[in-house]
Every structure is written in structure tokens, then in C-alpha cells.
Amino acid sequence: MVKPVLKWAGGKRQLLDEIYARFPAEYEQYHEPFFGGGAVFFDLEPDDGTVNDTNPRLVNFYRVLRDHPDELVSRLRTFDDPDADPDPAQDFVDENWKGKDIGEYFYQQRARFNRRAYGDGEWPQTAHDRIEEAALLLYLNRTCYNGLYRENSNGGFNVPIGRYSDPDWVMADRVRAASRTLADTDIRNEDFEYILEAAQTGDLVYLDPPYQPMSATANFAEYSADGFGREDQQRLLETVTQLDNDGVSFILSNSGVMYELYDDAGFLVEKEGATRSINSDETARGEVDEIIATNVPEEERGAHGQASIADF
């Protein structure tokens, strides 16, 4: 088992046992079209297959993690404490992109990370730039408030500084272990429908789309998560239906309000409780209803074993 490198809202470490309980006894390649923090992938440590995410910064991070782990660790070792003074040798010593004062090292690095969103031209372009952006993402992920990743409407990362007594943003052993796990994995930055071409008969696909917990009285007609609304949910249902027709096994986790949608489609659906600890609203943390849907019949499921749930 390898631990995820990033903290990521919606991570599935609390549902690993329930997800594994639905795995087929045998399968060929493993795929994750909504990668995020990769909790299932890193715990499973598959030999090959594909992972995908629509966030280009996240995809760049995982490609650097896979291909340049030593350079990533070396760069991470040079970062200063988040509450230190800004580095006078770097950009944004005094002001950020919007002209607001920068008083701490964290905010200087956040401004540097936002060059992709606010800068002129394409960035990152070079291998050095891509390693720099990956290092900045991990540094900010481990030092920002509650490990959140959030962008404004312009694509600017805007989570404030966190307050930690001794944050670890290098994690050399974890970085190298994750890199080895990704070594033979194809990392993509596409729409999730790529899976219809990538997955072959006998493969296994785990899908964890963006969604938000809803109230007990909510229904599919009211559901809409940021950037992934009703039409996307319908496309996702059509995608897993096609996977089923193609002889591809799938397991899908989603908001509890999606129960009827997958049940009506004839798939095996059950509700599970999941604990949410990464949320900007502390009152929204706690157990929420989620579903796990699959086309794997109970008699064809394997015994993967007890998954290990470790703290970040």
C-alpha cells in the first residue's frame, strides 16, 4: 500500500473496504477517469492502466511525480516555512497579481503558482517550469488551510495559509513510492469519455466524479456540482452503460441523490456512509450519504482483503 501524496477533498480512503468488496475476482488493466488524490489507485498499486483528470495542474503534478521524483524532492527541500518573510530573490516580494500586499512566504509562492492563471502566455512550457509548478502545488497543498484545493472563476488558486506546527511538504519517501506506483501508468488530461476507447473487455474502471453531498430530500433534478452538472451526470451514466455493454467491469461512487438514477438503469446500487474531513465549512464535515454502483455480480466478486485506512 502506498499513501497518497496530496490531500484532496472527496478522497475515498474511508470507503476503500466498500469499494474493494465489489472488485471482480479477476480483471486485466485498471483505470481511474477521475483521479483526484488517487486514494484507491495508490492503495491498490496496479501495474498498468490509465488515470485521468481534467485539472491540468493536477495532471502536470502526477506526470512530474512519475517521471522526475528526485528533482521534485530536491526542489521541495528548498522551500521555506509558510510564515517566513518572502524571498527577495523571487518574484512577488511585495504584491500579488491583484496588487495586494504579500507579507508571508506562503502568499509569495501562491502568487508564483498562479502564473498559469494570470500570467501572459503559456506556462509552464519547459521541463524546469513543470517541475516548479508541481513542487509549488505540493508545497501549497501541505501548507494551505485544511489541505483544500480551490480555484476562483479565473483559475487562480485562492486558499489561504494554514496554521501547522510542523508541516511536512517534502515527504521524500512517499513521493518516491508513489512515483514507482505510477511508473507504467498512462496519465491523461481529457474528458472522462476517453475511457470508452481506453478500457477493453475484462478491464476494471473505478469512477469517482465530482459531486457534493446533498440533503436527504434532494433529488437528481436539483443536483448540480460545480463544473459537473446534470448533463455531465447523464453522460456518465451513458458511459458506464456502454462499458457494461463492452464487457468492462465498473465501480462508481457518487452522491446519495444518484441512487435512483443507477438503480433504474439496472445496476447494483447500495448506500454507504463516508466521513468528510476536508471542507472549508467545519459544520459540513462529518458523515454523508454516498452510493456505490457496479455491474459486478456478487458471485463474480473477489476477496481483495481488508484495506488499510491510514491518516494523511
Asked whether residue 225 falls in the same domain as residue 137, the answer is no
Torsion sign (Cα): 132, 138, 139, 141: positive
Same structural domain, 74 and 172: yes
CATH of the domain at 104: 1.10.1020.10
- Determine the pLDDT at residue 310: 40
Q: Evaluate whether residue 98 is within a structural domain.
A: yes
How far is residue 50's CA from residue 187's CA, in Å, rounded to a whole number?
Answer: 6
Give how far the C-alpha of residue 135 lies from the chain's centroid of Cα atoms, to the nearest Å.
Answer: 16
Residue 312, in any domain of the structure: no
| Residue 245 confidence (pLDDT) above 80 | yes
Domain CATH number, residue 18: 3.40.50.150
How do strand 286-294 and strand 249-255 relate by DSSP bridges? antiparallel
Higher pLDDT, 282 or 308: 282
pLDDT value at 219 more than 80: no
**Residue located via cell numbers 512550457:** 125
- Cell digits for 158? 485562492
* Identity of residue 299: E
> Looking at the structure, do residues 77 and 159 belong to the same domain, yes or no?
yes
94 lies in the same domain as 169:
yes
In a domain, 184, yes or no: no
Which of 120, 151, 179 is the endpoint of a domain?
A: 179
In this structure, the answer to whether residues 195 and 211 fall within a common structural domain is yes
What domain range is 202 assigned to? Answer: 13-54+190-300
- The answer to whether residue 306 scores a pLDDT higher than 50 is no
Instruction: Compute the distance between CA of residue 221 and CA of residue 261 in angstroms, rounded to an integer.
Output: 11
Does some domain include residue 306?
A: no
The CA distance from 175 to 170, in Å, is: 8
Q: Rounded to 5 degrees, what are φ and ψ at 102?
A: -110, 120
CA gap 252, 204 in Å, rounded: 11
Query: pLDDT digit string (tens) for 4-40?
Result: 999 988 767 778 999 999 999 999 999 999 999 999 9
Whether 33 and 52 have beta carbons less than 8 Å apart is answered as yes
Number of structural domains (the chain) is: 2
For residue range 173-202, list pLDDT tens digits in order: 999 999 999 999 999 999 999 999 999 999
CA–CA gap between residue 64 and residue 36 (Å, rounded)? 15
Q: Which of 156, 179, 202 is the last residue of a domain?
A: 179
Provide the mean pLDDT of the chain: 90
DSSP state string for 135-173:
HHHHHHHHHBGGG---B-TTS-B---B---SS-----HH
Q: Could you give phi then psi for residue 236, rounded to 5 degrees?
A: -65, -45
Distance of alpha carbon 143 from alpha carbon 189, whole angstroms: 26
Tell whether 212 and 137 lie within a shared domain.
Answer: no
**Cα 118 from Cα 201, distance rounded (Å):** 43
Residues 164 and 66 in one domain: yes
pLDDT of residue 305: 46
Structural domain contains residue 263: yes
Residue at 248 is within a domain: yes
Residues 250-300: tens digit of each pLDDT:
999 999 999 999 999 999 999 987 554 544 455 444 456 899 999 999 999
Specify whether 206 is located in the same domain as 157: no
One domain, residues 235 and 194: yes
Domain boundary among 160, 179, 198: 179
Q: Classify burial at 149, counting beta carbons within 10 Å of its beta carbon; exposed 0-12, middle 13-18, buried 19 or more.
A: buried
Cis ω before 86 (30° cut-off from 0) = no
256 and 221 in a common domain: yes
In a shared domain, residues 136 and 200: no
How confident is the model at residue 120, as a pLDDT?
85
Task: Report the C-alpha gap between 177 and 104 in whole angstroms.
Answer: 32
Q: Do residues 99 and 248 share a domain?
A: no
Dist CA 285 CA 146 (whole Å): 12
